[in-house]
Amino acid sequence: MSKIGNAIAVAGANFALVKYWGKRNDALNLPAVGSISITVDSLITKTSVAFKENGSGDSLTMNGELATGSMLARVSRFLDWVREMAGMKLSAVVKTENSFPTGAGLASSASGFAALALAASRAAGLALSPRELSILARQGSGSAARSVFGGFVEMRRGSRDDGRDAVAAELASPAHWPLSVVVAVTGLKPKDVGSRDGMTHSRETSPFYDTWVAGADKDLPQCRGAILERDFDKLADVSEFNCLKMHAVAMASRPGILYWNDTTVALIHEARRMRKDGIPVFFTVDAGPQVKFICLPEAAPQVKKRLAGWPGVKDLIECAVGKGVREWLGEGR
Ligand code: DP6
């Protein structure tokens, strides 16, 4: 084992095309369904972890502000798994920065826990394989297991009770199909119902939940096939279907969870209009009001033009398919 000290890691957010919604085990954070996502390059979390000899408890600074309460507790619990693996008990100083709004449906927990998994394990002197990193990241946040990898990524539901097979792997590299994603930011406030609570509430109260879980077995091979064949229309069809289904499950919970605002709905219609007009683009929406327009790269300027100045659109962020988590060794290295 190498020396215990400090490390910095960066990870990109990811957007699910076939979505993870529901857990088969809450304690181990095991998904009820497999999922497929694209890791992106422009929404980045950078995290540093330093283990200290004489520290008195972990500290967490997020975007320059000291975090306390449930966020610190979640990170500390995550660090406990790393400490256990490394056989040590040192406290950690964690500093993390997002290049985008936190907790607003832009997958901050995915990039956050992927970066934390790599930075904390390296700082603890561990050299984990990508598979082990993905399992570790999943314990922090299910979607984080996917941000360990770049390109197109599939997360397996797994069937083992210990979760060793609930792990992500690269399906295709960024170079396989260089799609673009234009993210229309329509709301900057952290959402009222986080994905974790939303999933539990859906499982407990939505009459559509069991149908949703059963449907993943059909959506996953279609999405996988569309990516491997680079079949844009097939990818658009299965992704929009899966996205609306996930939101239907959440909406049919009691009380219903509605992640969308007026602009989200208007933009979903606009995505469909654009496709009717011959622009190769489709939408997806996660647990928040932002709309992600996934398109062929040559269509990105047209998509941005159609969305520029749209009432309620606060920002447009263009992303390419990006790399997986990596150690940050300094600017330009
Ligand atoms: C709608 O990974 O944030 O973005 O495992 O409870 O931390 P936890 O949930 P999280 O859920 C992501 C939900 C989603 C769909 C997806 O990314 O697959």
pLDDT by residue for the chain (333 residues), tens only, comes to 457 899 999 999 999 999 999 999 999 999 999 999 999 999 999 999 999 988 789 999 999 999 999 999 999 999 999 999 999 999 999 999 998 776 566 768 999 999 999 999 999 999 999 999 999 999 999 999 999 999 999 999 999 999 999 999 999 999 999 999 999 999 988 788 999 999 999 999 999 999 999 999 999 999 999 999 999 999 999 999 999 999 999 999 999 999 999 999 999 999 999 999 999 999 999 999 999 999 999 999 999 999 999 999 999 999 999 999 999 987 755
What is residue 2's predicted lDDT score, i.e. its pLDDT?
A: 53
What is residue 316's predicted lDDT score, i.e. its pLDDT?
A: 95
Smallest CA-to-CA distance from 53 within 93, 2, 8, 9 is with 93
CATH class of 6-177: alpha beta
Q: How far is CA 120 from CA 6, 112, 233, 323, 330, in A?
A: 8, 12, 41, 19, 17
- Ligand 1, CB cutoff 6 Å, lining residues: 16, 19-21, 29, 35, 109, 141-143, 195-196, 286-287
What is residue 104's predicted lDDT score, i.e. its pLDDT?
A: 60
Q: How far is CA 57 from CA 52, 80, 121, 264, 322, in A?
A: 10, 11, 18, 42, 35
Q: Could you tell me the distance, in angstroms and rounded to a whole number, from the CA of residue 66 to the centre of ligand 1?
A: 24
* All CATH 3.30.230.10 domain ranges in the chain, comma separated: 6-177
Residue 295 near residue 182 (C-beta atoms within 8 A): yes
Q: How far is CA 220 from CA 64, 72, 208, 285, in A?
A: 39, 35, 18, 17
Q: How far is CA 298 from CA 281, 282, 307, in A?
A: 11, 14, 16
Q: Could you tell me the distance, in angstroms and rounded to a whole number, from the CA of residue 146 to the centre of ligand 1?
A: 10
The fold of the 180-320 domain, in CATH, is: Alpha-Beta Plaits (3.30.70)
* All CATH 3.30.70.890 domain ranges in the chain, comma separated: 180-320
What is residue 105's predicted lDDT score, i.e. its pLDDT?
A: 61
Distance, CA of 196 to CA of 205 (rounded, Å): 14
- Mutational test site, ligand 1, from 106, 195, 244, max ligand atoms within 8 Å of CB: 195
